[in-house]
Structure 1
Amino acid sequence: MNQKELEFFRESLNKMLNDILQKGQETIEDMTESGEVYADPADRATAESDRAFTLRLRDRERKLIKKIQKAIQRIDDGDFGYCVSCGDEISIARLKARPVTTLCIACKSKQEDEEKNRGD
């Protein structure tokens, strides 16, 4: 992978990271400002359900932050774009679709097949 491609992925990963951090900050602000009182229990239940859903999304994004940071570190280390299982290059198309990936499509398919056979 050439330097221009690596910079493209670094910028893309940094943008993803900044977007997630901004959403997290907005969620914190919304939840600290939200001192609403609901007269109707159904409205309160809906608001609580929405809040729980938002928190689940933010938790998933928290896990993604770690993957993004590791991908940026792999760029710095010169390991980005190589499958951790077989060592082959991961296709640019796959990296564009999922820049945090560590497996080429063949190894990922094999992993999914093994998980399916184990019943995971």
Structure 2
Amino acid sequence: MKAQSFLPDDYRPAESEPFMNDRQLEYFRRKLVTWKQELLEQSAETIEVLQGSARAVPDVADRASEETDRALELRTRDRQRKLVAKIDAALRRVENGEFGYCEASGEPISLKRLDARPIATMTLEAQEKHERRERVHRED
């Protein structure tokens, strides 16, 4: 990627700009890095909570409740781990110039979609088509 350009705090990518210019790439890179940092901080907090709750609870109902809470925390942490992997993949796409383009069609992904879901790899139309195909195959 080219040298990182200065971005004002209120910068938002606009349709009137050339698609995935340096400013847009830097905007999405920062957004992805910030999101990843937040997830890693939450993950560290989850580990602390789980380590702190690893104690023998004599009451069966309390133990069951604690085990349910622990399982939920672990599922959440697993989802976060997978999300961090998707963020890392998006950051690699930013670096190699593939970010913002649909992996199925090669068409630009809308800025609104990328702003809402910066890990998106397909246009909305391609994603819907993909999900319809998945549903059909699941029903077989």
TM-score (norm 1): 0.93
> Cα–Cα, structure 1 residues 102 and 35, in superposed 2: closer, same or farther, change >3 Å?
closer
Identify which of 3, 8, 13 aligns with 2:32: 13
Between stretches 51-60 and 25-34, larger displacement belongs to 25-34
SS in 2 for 1:90: coil
Q: Once superposed, what is the RMSD of the aligned Cα atoms?
A: 1.3
Q: 1:44 aligned to 2:63? A: yes
Which residue of the other structure, out of 16, 22, 28, is the alignment partner of 1:3? 22
Amino acid at match of 1:18: Q
Q: Could you list the runs of 5+ residues in structure 2 that have no partner in the other structure?
A: 1-19
* Match for residue 76 of structure 1 among 95, 103, 109: 95
Q: Percent identity?
A: 43
Q: 1:24 to 1:7 in 2, by over 3 A?
A: same
Code of the residue aligned with 2:102 in structure 1: it is C
What letter matches 2:89 in structure 1?
Answer: K
1:30 to 38, 44, 49: 49
- Post-superposition Cα deviations, 1:50-98, rounded to whole Å, max 9, x if no partner, equal 0100100100111111110010010010110000110000000111111
Q: Aligned pairs, how many? A: 120
Q: Name the CA distance, whole Å, in 2 between partners of 1:34 and 1:41.
A: 15
State the 1:35 CA deviation.
4.4
Q: 1:59 to 1:35 in 2, by over 3 A?
A: closer
Structure 1 stretches of at least 4 aligned residues deviating more than 4 Å after TM superposition? none
TM-score (norm 2): 0.80
Trace 1:97-108 onto structure 2 (pairs within 5 A): 97-108=116-127
Gaps (5+ residues) in structure 1?
none
**In structure 2, how many angstroms separate the alpha carbons of the residues matched to 1:16 and 1:93?**
17
Amino acid at match of 1:66: A
